[in-house]
Structure 1
Amino acid sequence: MTIGKVNLAAAFATFHDHWNPRVAGDINDFQVKLAKFEGKFDWHHHETEDELFLVVQGRMKMGLRSGDVIVGPGEFIIVPHGTEHCPEALDGECHVLLLEPGTTRNTGTVETDKTRHRLERIG
């Protein structure tokens, strides 16, 4: 295994589409994923996987049935499994680092046009 570093700005610059996470690294059974958000995603939940959303650039609103949470650059939110949620980019594009099990499907238990079955890798 080669040990290297990832420059987040450079990694985000390698793609331009939205709601299509890329795998930037693996840590045990988890993956570090990078995604660009624009607009609103779909309401969904994950049966067994918790998710961490770290905002690198921009702002996002995490829609929760219990109330929305605004997350800015350098802030993160952990969404526990079973919690229905709906991420939304505010003020244009938002760059997000996700930490979640490698088996996590981006739309959880629902199938939409944003569902990704196979993720591309960065690097």
Structure 2
Amino acid sequence: MSNEPIALGAALASFDALWSPRIVTRVNDYDVRIAKVEGEHLWHAHDDTDEFFLVLEGELYISLRESAGERTVRLPRGSVFTVPRGTEHKPYAPTGAALLLFEPTGTPTVGDRHDEVPDHVDATTGHALGF
């Protein structure tokens, strides 16, 4: 990890892959990840951790399957949302978005329980930023 400031705009400009997060830095045992997204992810759940989303650019929707039924939250630019651990969810961005995520180091992008992983989703625990 760098001990120098990191400009998120430059970090986002350093890669094009969608649904393939890059690790910007670490805070204690958590990765701070950025990702470019467009289209749909997949239904999945993280059994042991919450998932934090901050929309840096664009707009993100997250469908949730909860005990009261299914609902969708809309996150415009600058919005934050935390998906509680164990909650099935599916992020999607019809017109694209850039995100910042906080997750425990080693957390897979497709969760612990998930649908079949489509080709456009990178099943990873995050990639090095590489710039």
TM exceeding 0.5: yes
> Secondary structure of the equivalent of 1:12?
helix
State the distance in 1 between where 2:2 and 2:12 align. Answer: 21
Aligned residues: 122
Task: Please state if 1:116 is matched with 2:123.
Answer: yes
Aligned-residue sequence identity (percent) comes to 37
Runs of 4+ in 1 over 2 A off after TM superposition: 113-119
1:61 and 1:89 in contact (8 A); partners too: yes
| Deviations 1:49-86 (CA, angstroms, capped at 9, x unpaired) | 11101000000101112310000111110011100000
Query: Which residues of structure 2 form unaligned runs of 5+?
Result: none
> Secondary structure of the equivalent of 2:45?
coil
State the distance in 1 between where 2:16 and 2:122 align. Answer: 17
Q: In proportion to residue count, which structure has more strand?
A: 2
1:107: how far off? 0.4
1:118: how far off? 5.0
State the distance in 2 between where 1:116 and 1:56 align. Answer: 22
Query: Which residues of structure 1 form unaligned runs of 5+?
Result: none
1:120: how far off? 1.8
| 1:83 alignment counterpart | 87
